[in-house]
């Protein structure tokens, strides 16, 4: 008989969104490093590669005609235009992975979150990160050193619009102290794994318990 630790369960889709610069990439990396059961869903994008990014690891970088062909071929679970570029979540892997009990992390925006929720509501866990203040958001975008002043200004202008989607999420965490924020997000992941509906092995386990 399975012990409760090895009970079969269905995987989940863990979505982390935030206004650009609030820290979702940082928290995602910490989660992936700390949790070997979680794997990143690598998105396809038409935006130019940034220094330090690896094609196939951070994103799959393609040109617009290739992206459009993928949309046509129904390659994506969801896709959206963000900051003038196209981004999409590939369908392959995720659906089969969920059945096999694998968990996927999604670093996607609110539009993608809505689409995934409409398609796969019961598998989705939506977490939204907020910055502690607008000034701190600007400091983080500037300090990251990856974007020009124009791009930072555009991201700041979009931040209020992005923040307004906070109520489309199951959990909202303010990313003030990074370690505290990480601990909170990890607790959410752990608790969601234990949801009764996800523990597909429970029925058999409980039947055995009641027979003994």
Residue 23 interacts with, from ligand 5GP, ligand ADP, none (CB under 5-8 Å by kind): ligand ADP
> Which of 9, 47, 75, 158 is the binder for ligand 5GP (CB under 6 A)?
47
Q: Check if the beta carbon of residue 3 is closer than 8 Å to that of residue 88.
A: no
What part of residues 144-163 is at the interface with ligand ADP (CB under 6 A)?
144
Phi, psi of 103 (to 5 degrees): -105, 140
SS3 55: strand
Distance (Å) of CA 192 to CA 28, 128, 181, 189: 17, 15, 17, 5
Nearest alpha carbon to residue 68 among 42, 91, 82, 86: 86
Q: Check if the beta carbon of residue 176 is closer than 8 Å to that of residue 132.
A: yes
Q: Check if the beta carbon of residue 120 is closer than 8 Å to that of residue 13.
A: yes
> Which of 11, 21, 88, 112 is the binder for ligand ADP (CB under 6 A)?
21
Strand ranges across the sheet with 171-174: 38-40, 103-107, 13-17, 124-130, 171-174
Residue 140 interacts with, from ligand ADP, ligand 5GP, none (CB under 5-8 Å by kind): ligand ADP
Q: Which is nearer to ligand ADP, 10 or 43 (CB)?
A: 43
Is 173 one of the binding residues for ligand ADP (CB under 6 A)? Answer: no
Q: Which is nearer to ligand 5GP, 34 or 49 (CB)?
A: 49
Is 172 one of the binding residues for ligand ADP (CB under 6 A)? Answer: no
Dihedral sign of CA atoms 87, 107, 193, 195 in order: negative
Binding to ligand 5GP by CB under 6 A, coded x per residue (else -) over 88-107, reads xx-----------------x
Residue 112 interacts with, from ligand ADP, ligand 5GP, none (CB under 5-8 Å by kind): ligand 5GP
| Residues in contact with ligand ADP by the rule CB under 6 A | 18, 20-26, 140, 143-144, 175, 178, 181
User: Which residues contact ligand 5GP (rule: CB under 6 A)?
Assistant: 17, 20, 43, 47, 78, 80, 82-83, 87-89, 107-109, 111-112
């Amino acid at each position: 008989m399975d012990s409760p630790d090895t009970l079969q369960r269905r995987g989940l889709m863990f979505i982390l969104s935030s206004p650009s610069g609030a820290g979702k990439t940082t928290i995602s990396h910490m989660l992936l490093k700390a949790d070997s059961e979680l794997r990143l869903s690598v998105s396809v994008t038409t935006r130019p590669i940034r220094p330090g990014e690896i094609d196939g690891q951070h994103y799959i970088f393609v040109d617009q005609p290739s992206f459009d062909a993928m949309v046509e071929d129904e390659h994506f679970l969801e896709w959206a235009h963000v900051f003038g570029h196209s981004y999409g979540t590939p369908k392959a892997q995720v659906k089969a992975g969920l059945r096999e009990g694998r968990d996927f992390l999604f670093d996607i925006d609110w539009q993608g979150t809505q689409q995934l929720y409409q398609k796969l509501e019961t598998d989705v866990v939506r977490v939204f990160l907020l910055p502690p203040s607008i000034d701190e958001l600007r400091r983080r975008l500037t300090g990251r050193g990856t974007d020009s002043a124009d791009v930072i200004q555009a991201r700041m202008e979009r931040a209020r619009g992005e923040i307004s989607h906070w109520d489309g999420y199951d959990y909202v965490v303010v990313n003030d102290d990074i370690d505290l924020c990480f601990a909170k997000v990890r607790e959410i992941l752990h608790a969601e794994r234990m949801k009764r509906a996800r523990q597909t092995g429970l029925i058999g386990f409980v039947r055995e318990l009641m027979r003994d």
